[in-house]
Amino acid sequence: MIQAIVEVLKSVLLSINNVTQNYGLSIIILTILIRVITWPLMSKQLSSAKAMQEIQPELKKLQEKYKHDQEKLNAATFELWKKHKINPAAGCLPLLVQLPILWAMFRMLQTPPNIETSQFFLFTIDMREALMSTVDGVTVWKSNPGYWILVFLSGATTYLQQKLTMTDQSQRSMMIVMPLMLLYFSLRFPAGVILYWVVNNLLSLGQHLLISRGSAMGEVEN
């Protein structure tokens, strides 16, 4: 299944690249196109995450009240979800649907297509290479500042996205761990993969802000 998605995405990417003649720009356009297609699913996921965030104070009170009675806590939590018309599964299903696309994009971008070498560069950054590459068994750190900007953005945008969408404050440590992991992997992934991740994160942040703004406007009107 994943390989079939990879082939479809590769075909679309190459078609876009035939027009742009720039692999990096083609990745950006493809990422935006995927976001447009999956917009309804992402909106459901982000709306569910926002709703879960808003009931956290009430949930904490229940956890404190029934900290010695798991059965009553589960029942009270269910009633709280019911009261606010929240379905926790609503945030999981859209994510599960999108995961195959995410994995397919990563797999495809890790092996750049066979196109002219001159087309791989975006702002002088070679989309085929990682910050840390090995030449004749020796590790070579790229000096192009564009690589470092992409690495920084991969960590920073991951941190911001997690901060905005985190529903369980007990997992705050993940806000540090995940960006650091992304920084580490960014040193080894081709720049094209990191570009996709950064653009995808920025689009997620924008969509989250739009949903939050829409909810706030709705509350004011009510």
Tally of structural domains, the chain: 1
Q: Is 87 helix (H, G, I), strand (E, B) or coil?
A: coil
Per-residue pLDDT for 170 more than 70? no
| Res 12: pLDDT | 96
Task: Report residue 220's pLDDT band, with 50, 70 and 90 as the boundaries.
Answer: very low
Q: What is the mean pLDDT of residues 148-163?
A: 89
> What does the DSSP 8-state code read for residue 204?
H
Specify the pTM: 0.77
| Res 37: pLDDT | 87
Q: Give 18-61 pLDDT, tens digit per residue.
A: 999 999 999 999 999 998 888 877 777 667 766 777 777 788 88
The region of weakest confidence among 34-38, 85-89, 188-192 is 85-89
| Res 72: pLDDT | 83
| Res 222: pLDDT | 46
| Res 193: pLDDT | 94
CB-count exposure of residue 20 (10 Å: 0-12, 13-18, 19+): middle
Q: What is the mean pLDDT of residues 178-191?
A: 87
| Token representation of residue 155 | 């960590």
More confident residue, 174 or 76: 76
- In angstroms, the CA 58 to CA 61 distance is 5
Per-residue pLDDT for 221 more than 80? no
Per-residue pLDDT for 148 more than 80? yes
| 109 neighbors 192 (Cβ within 8 angstroms) | yes
| Res 140: pLDDT | 76
Which residues on adjacent β-strands are paired with residue 138? 135
Q: What is the mean pLDDT of residues 140-159?
A: 88
Domain that holds residue 152: 2-221
Q: What is the mean pLDDT of residues 188-203?
A: 93
| Res 9: pLDDT | 94
